[in-house]
Amino acid sequence: MLKPDMRRSTDPTARAGLGASFALLAVVVAVELADGPRANLLGLLAAAPFLAAAFASWRDVCAVGGVAWLIAVLFALPAKAGEPLPLAVNVGGIVVATAIAAMVGSIRQRQSEHFAEVSQLANVAQQAVLRPIGGRMGSLTIAGRYISSNAAADIGGDLYEALDTPFGMRMIIGDVRGKGLDAVRLASTVLGSYRYVAYERPDLAAVVDDLDRAVARAVNDEDFVTAAIVEERGGTITIVNCGHPAPLLLRQGQVIPLEPPTSSPPLGFKPVVCPRTELLEPGDRLLFYTDGLAEARREKQFFPTAERAWGLLGHGTVADGLASLESALVEWVGGVLDDDIALILVEYTGASAAPITVPSWELGAPE
């Protein structure tokens, strides 16, 4: 790990600030030389340490101030004897300006280091809540990606998890209403509950009921969590949608939205379990996403997810597909996102060798 001073010395922003400061000194020197023997512009040298203070450390500010002071002295020495007071004021003013600028630079440096520490802690907290997912799981290949709207810290209320359980591959993707630490806290509650009940409950109806109660206990009347709870076994995928954007099925060049049979409210509002079941074919891919993708737009034009999904996601590995989608999305919005986005892309590679019985609640009542 680099020491603080070493990090600052290699910081491109600090180097740019120092370069701009010395460029300013060079301009003042050139203008002073062109102006003649009278030292009329020495006061402008005091601007250089203030410019450095906006980007560099206080030590660098002092270095810039020292150079500015030396230049002022060299110009003042051959000046006429009748001008000692103005020249002394200018030279002394550079010293005072350097001291003030160094103080400002020190305060800015401490604030920057504190902000970097907070950002790092936020990233650690996000990673502790949102574990990376990816690789092979049963008959699926899975990739997950989190795109933060905040460049300073990857922290928000979007969530996902994929687990290999005794009941097949089970997955959740969701979006907590709101942002910040409260959203992260609720996302942690949902994921903690899901990581337990996904292994314990034999059907998705019980999983949804447990998650709904967990959310209801943790929030007030206005908070909720949209979610899609997914289960794949034996080549059959079941999706329970609780107020969440419908996933997209990519099959042989076509993009098919998997809308739920009926709409259902989010977790926390007693959602009704209305599963949608699809028989998968080898090579099928499914994109699950949060509404940050659905709402991403430029000049009031939404990102055409369905239209571009096959071209971006239908080739290469699933991880490559998500990387292509993120690049296209960031380019579309000009690098500025209004909301965090969670993405999961899965590919069905073939049915499991051992058949698994689908519970009767998923198949419907017998005739």
pLDDT in tens, 87-116: 666 677 788 888 888 888 788 778 777 766
CB-based contacts of 224: which residues, under 8 Å, 6+ apart?
Answer: 177, 215, 243, 265, 266, 267, 268, 269
For the segment 242-269, the average pLDDT, to the nearest whole number, is 94
For the segment 120-144, the average pLDDT, to the nearest whole number, is 79
pLDDT value at residue 56: 79
pLDDT value at residue 356: 41
What's the CA gap between 8 and 2, in Å, rounded? 10
Average the pLDDT over each of 186-195, 215-224, 265-274, 295-304 and give the range with the smallest value.
215-224
* DSSP-H helix ranges across 36-83: 47-53, 58-76
For the segment 177-204, the average pLDDT, to the nearest whole number, is 87
Handedness of CA 60, 66, 69, 74 (dihedral sign): negative
Q: Is the pLDDT of residue 17 over 70?
A: yes
For the segment 204-223, the average pLDDT, to the nearest whole number, is 88
Q: How confident is the model at residue 250 (pLDDT cuts 50, 70, 90)?
A: very high
Q: Which residue has the tokens 């009031």?
A: 300
Average the pLDDT over each of 99-103, 115-119, 284-288, 297-301 and give the range with the smallest value.
115-119
Which CATH number fits the domain 130-352, given the four candidates 3.90.1640.10, 3.60.40.10, 3.90.226.10, 3.30.1600.10?
Answer: 3.60.40.10
- 180 or 56, greater pLDDT: 56
DSSP assignment letter at 285: E
Q: What are phi and psi of 339, to 5 degrees?
A: -150, 155
Q: Is the pLDDT of residue 58 over 90?
A: no
DSSP 143-204: EEEEE-S-TT----SEEEEEEEETTEEEEEEEEESS-HHHHHHHHHHHHHHHHHHHHH-SSH
Handedness of CA 70, 108, 147, 339 (dihedral sign): negative
What's the CA gap between 64 and 28, in Å, rounded? 14
Domain borders along the chain are 4-124, 130-352
pLDDT value at residue 340: 87
Q: Is the pLDDT of residue 193 over 90?
A: yes
Q: What is the pTM of this model?
A: 0.67
In one-letter notation, the amino acid at residue 299 is E
Average the pLDDT over each of 7-21, 130-144, 239-253 and give the range with the smallest value.
7-21
CA 164 to chain centre: 27
Q: Is the pLDDT of residue 67 over 80?
A: yes
- Tens of pLDDT, residue by residue over 310-336, are 999 998 999 999 999 999 999 998 888
Q: Which residue has the tokens 């102006």?
A: 35
pLDDT value at residue 251: 95
Task: List the structure tokens of 245.
Answer: 């954007």
Burial class of 256 by CB neighbour count within 10 A (0 to 12, 13 to 18, 19+): middle
